[in-house]
Chains A and B, each alone.
Chain A
Amino acid sequence: MAIDRAHVGYSLPAFTVEATPERIAKFRAAIGETGGDVRVAPPTFMKMVEGEHNSSRRILDTLAVDLRRVLHAEQQFDYVSPILAGDQLDVVRKVSDIYERKNGLMEFIVIESTISHAERGLLGRSRQVVLVRNPKPAVAA
């Protein structure tokens, strides 16, 4: 089933996430990070921030995508200023594009996020491409 292209531009209500020292420590432990400054979030921590409140699942649910057909195809991060322990982060996520390949067997959803801080402004951007593997259409009778 094709994803309704009307969802391009769909945005979740903005939400706030606190990058507590505990969350950064837990994330570092989960990825085996032992070096560096423990008060600075690791490079892929933005994914944890933008995923708060089950936001990725909510976007896919809105687009009526079957979770079993979903794979993460691409991920890009742009860094403006580091996320530091204790930061209150404002997150905005939106569906910026939906396109297909192979006659609709593969559909791609592009989700872009911005992560900002009230005083320091934009800290980073995330761009994710989700692959939806559609079943081959039944042959028309």
Chain B
Amino acid sequence: MNDMNTVLAEYETGPITREMLAQYAEASGDTNPLHLDPAFAQKAGFADVIVHGMLSMALLGRLLSSRFANRALLKFDARFAAILPVNTSLRCRARLADVAEGQPDDGHLRLALEAIDPAGTVIITGSAELAAAL
């Protein structure tokens, strides 16, 4: 179990601002008003606009692209466990994942990913598989 769960990469996004949400909406085409219009977000039951899950996932994905070529990536999965209000920061972390018992050694690198808000709430749990070595 020596190398299991070793933190491989980690960074703090800094507050995810309204401007960042607007810029992401424009670049991605996801113009859902839940991320842009506070009045709409309130009608949906939130205090203010919330961060696009896909923006949080993209910020988490920077852990992968900072270390590996995009070409090496085989799978990238996210489960959005909680909503993230605007102006909140995320701590993004990648660890070496446990290798399942009896799993053939295909040489792929498997990572466990998470994005956590400053209160410790897990916003995203995810995983990635890469055709790469450490």
Which A residues contact B (CB, under 8 angstroms)?
Answer: 23, 26-27, 29-33, 35-37, 40-44, 47-48, 51-52, 54, 56, 67-79, 82
Tell whether A71 pairs with B80 under 8 Å between CB atoms, given A30-B27, A30-B28, A36-B65: yes
Seed contacts A40-B69, A76-B77; 12 additional CB < 8 Å A-B pairs? A27-B27, A27-B28, A31-B27, A33-B65, A37-B70, A42-B58, A43-B61, A43-B70, A67-B34, A69-B44, A74-B78, A77-B75
Interface residues of B in 56-99 (CB under 8 A from A): 57-59, 61-62, 64-66, 69-71, 73-80, 83
Interfacial chain B residues near A74, Cβ < 8 Å: 77-80
Picked from B43, B58, B77, B80, the residue with its CB within 8 Å of the CB of A31 is: B58
Picked from A23, A29, A79, the residue with its CB within 8 Å of the CB of B76 is: A79
* CA distance in complex: A18, B54 (Å): 20
Tell me whether A79 and B27 are in contact (CB under 8 A).
Answer: no
Number of B residues near A (Cβ < 8 Å) is 40
Picked from A41, A47, A54, A73, the residue with its CB within 8 Å of the CB of B70 is: A41
Interface residues of B in 40-58 (CB under 8 A from A): 40, 43-45, 52-55, 57-58
Q: Name B's interface SS.
A: helix
Interfacial chain B residues near A77, Cβ < 8 Å: 75-77
Tell me whether B70 and A36 are in contact (CB under 8 A).
Answer: yes
Tell whether A29 pairs with B27 under 8 Å between CB atoms, given A35-B66, A36-B70, A37-B69: yes
